[in-house]
Amino acid sequence: MRNDIYNRSESDPNFTPDQLELDDMLEMFKQQIESCLFTSKTMVLGDIQFGASLEEFIWSYQTTGNELNGVVVEQINAYCTLSSMFPYTVNTTFYTGSIRDIAEVNIVIDNRDKFNILIS
> CB–CB of 2/28 below 8 Å?
yes
76 or 19: which leads in pLDDT: 76
pLDDT band at 74 (very low <50, low <70, confident <90, very high): very high
- The domain spans of the chain are 4-86
- Give 17-72 pLDDT, tens digit per residue: 665 566 678 888 988 898 899 888 888 888 999 999 888 877 766 788 899 999 99
DSSP symbols for 16-65: -TT--EE--HHHHHHHHHHHHHSS-TT-STT-TT-S--HHHHHH-TT--H
- Give 56-65 pLDDT, tens digit per residue: 877 766 788 8
